Chains A and B, each alone.
Chain A
Amino acid sequence: MTRIGEKFKELGEKGEKALIAFITAGDPDLEFTGECILEMEKGGADIIELGVPFSDPMADGPTIQKSSERALTAGTTLPKILAMVKSVRQRSRVPIVLMGYFNPVFRFGVAKFAAAAVAAGVDGVLLVDLPPEEAGEFKKAAAAAGLDLISLLTPTSDAGRIAKVAELGSGFIYYVSVTGVTGARQSVADSMFGKVAEIREKSPLPVAVGFGISDPVQAARVASVADGVVVGSAIVKLFEEFSGEELKSRLRGFVAELKAGIGNC
């Protein structure tokens, strides 16, 4: 079992839900990202999702687009991100998932990447633009290396798609709560409840819900039905306003609030 599987098992035994916290790797630089991972872990994040910046993030809203641009301007690359994870691994066992687009991974070489990611201590990978139809080669490489391949389901996924996607993935299933791009929103769609239940019927994997979740109240609402709650843009927004020690302490504080909210579900 991977660190992701162990984490969900451990939380399940305690009757807790997972907080999955997202930041963009390399925003504003990779050394700082390493420190942020540890701060968020201390704040109560159960799993860290690291965005791999891409020049053309077609599934992301303005907050993560800008964050990716800052990271790319700072010279962030996939090999450098793996090196950073490797150094964080010496100090932490928090599961780490890389999230991004396929092209940087394709350029790295699919099999080479899966092996290098596991060697660096990465636990799972989520590629937004790699649906099951195109994921065959990557799935094989990930399985061979022992890397979880996190798959996505959405409000538009019907029963057939759910079965197809559930079969592909490992680690957990990421349910995208809205049809749209990433970004903090005022409310979480009610359709989530029915869909998450439907996914559970088709897959034994834990289900995490993300996209648009921006505060502890929404996080609690999502946690009432899901095994995990993903918060991205609302955290990344802090990087627009703050920096340095102030940012780190706010990150830790916000993550703690979210985790407390999830505990109240």
Chain B
Amino acid sequence: MRLPDKQGHFGQFGGRYVPETLMPALLELEQAYAHYKNDREFKEEFAYYLRQYVGRPNPLYFAEKLTNRLGGARIYLKREDLNHTGAHKINNTIGQGLLAKRMGKSRVIAETGAGQHGVATATVAALMGMECEVFMGEEDIHRQSLNVFRMKLLGARVTPVTAGTATLKDAMNEAMRNWVTYVHNTFYVIGTTAGPHPYPMMVRDFQAVIGREAKAQHRKAEGKLPDCLVAAVGGGSNAMGLFYPFLNDHEVRLIGVEAAGYGISSGKHAAPLCAGEVGVLHGNKTYLLQDEFGQIAPAHSISAGLDYPGVGPEHAWLKESGRASYVSVTDEEALAGFQLLTREEGILPALESSHAIAYLLKLAPTLAKDKTIVVCLSGRGDKDIHTVAEAMGVKLQ
């Protein structure tokens, strides 16, 4: 069965829970996407930019030292950190940018947490000559000042959001409000596999290049399918991109790693699949952090990109159907993962990706040496240097 269904449902999850003002825009987007995803010219242009501009295909790197250190399965890193702008986010913004142009929209808006999606959207807006406004929680603006400046250099307007917890979820509320107001000329570039239909499907499709490349590269290197895929899950776009081409390969284990923050039992985490309840937020039904009365609870993660109380509806479905499993690692474990990869392989992972790396410490040693794991190294860690330094008690100038 191909999911989502016509109304954007993955089982009970997904859908379109938005104000009526946006329904016509979503229907228009759905039609445009349905047309262009099969349009030869669109597909060629998308492939062209991924190759010539993003730098794809990026390598599937065999992390030999890390493998030896952990003493179990062979570990491969899918190097999304080597993409232009330093993360997987650009795959999706190229796709949505090309679509926005074809739909005749002159202005794009985006929400951002860590700033990677904001940078990727601002980049595409610069490339394609569109006006760009990025909504970002004030808290995240402090945590990610480097990315804020990058967006401004790229010509985007960065609008601070002070409402609520002043993080990613509030940025998304504000982007929705802006979209409702300027829907006639504005395209909302959502950065993850969440939001109302068709976004979870469309973002997944644009990100699926990660899994398609990884599958072919792994086959070439090992002559078989990998045994396990591991990816960090906030909204879930890098994980969905990696998992999707393997959904029907049932022998491949899919493992999503959520942010446990200070620990699940502390209540201060960002792990709705591990410890949330089903609800409706930002246009879709999914697992959410919420109280018994349906108020959304603040998330916490050291990684701004994972600091979100919801998760893409297809992940909710993969959990419910049992096709994928979801685990969590704490801030502290993620920092250890960051340092491990830096010291063993000379690669600074983003704090988001560090969660996936951290889980390898638990997983890899339990698997035999002829097994393989593909990890999505979704982004580079340069943007997180200040956060890491602070956590280590080091003061930078």
Residue ranges of A at the interface with B (Cβ–Cβ < 8 Å): 54-61, 65, 72, 77-79, 101-108, 128-131, 133-134, 151-158, 161, 165, 176, 179-181
Contact = CB atoms under 8 A, between A and B. Distances in A.
Contacts of A156: 20-25, 183
Contacts of A79: 293
Contact of B292 (A107, A158, A165): A107
Nearest to A66: B163
12 contacts: A56-B282, A78-B294, A102-B17, A103-B281, A131-B18, A133-B16, A134-B7, A154-B21, A156-B183, A179-B180, A181-B177, A181-B181
B20 A152 contact: yes
B296 interface: yes
A106 B290 CA distance: 12
Given A56-B169, A180-B177, A181-B181, 16 more contacts: A55-B296, A56-B164, A58-B282, A59-B176, A101-B280, A103-B295, A105-B294, A108-B293, A128-B19, A130-B17, A154-B21, A157-B20, A157-B24, A179-B184, A180-B180, A181-B177
Interface residues of B, number: 38
A155 B7 CA distance: 23
Interface string B269-281: 0000000010111
Nearest to A60: B177
B180 A131 contact: no
Given A133-B7, A180-B181, A103 B294 contact: yes
B15 interface: yes
A102 B295 contact: no
Contact of A134 (B15, B169, B183, B296): B15
A155 B25 CA distance: 12
Interface in B229-288: 277, 279-283, 288
Question: Of residues B25, B170, B184, B280, which shows the largest number of chain A Cβ atoms within 10 Å of its Cβ?
Answer: B280
Contacts of B290: 103, 107
A55 to B, nearest CB: 4
B325 interface: no
B58 interface: no
A230 to B, nearest CB: 15
A180 B183 CA distance: 9
Question: Of residues A61, A78, A180, which shows the largest number of chain B Cβ atoms within 10 Å of its Cβ?
Answer: A180
Nearest to A182: B177
Main SS at interface, chain B: mixed
A101 B285 CA distance: 13
Contacts of B15: 133-134
Contacts of B164: 55-56
B181 A107 contact: no
A103 B280 contact: yes
A152 B19 contact: yes
Contacts of A60: 177
A102 B15 CA distance: 13
Contacts of A157: 20, 23-24
Contacts of A103: 279-281, 288, 290, 294-296
B20 A104 contact: no
B387 interface: no
B181 A179 contact: yes
B280 to A, nearest CB: 5
A61 B178 CA distance: 10
Contact of A131 (B23, B182, B294): B23
B293 A179 contact: no
A61 B20 contact: no
Contacts of A165: 20
B173 interface: yes
Contacts of A101: 280
Contacts of B183: 156, 179
B17 A54 contact: no
A191 to B, nearest CB: 12
B184 A58 contact: no
Interface string B181-222: 111100000000000000000000000000000000000000
A134 B177 contact: no
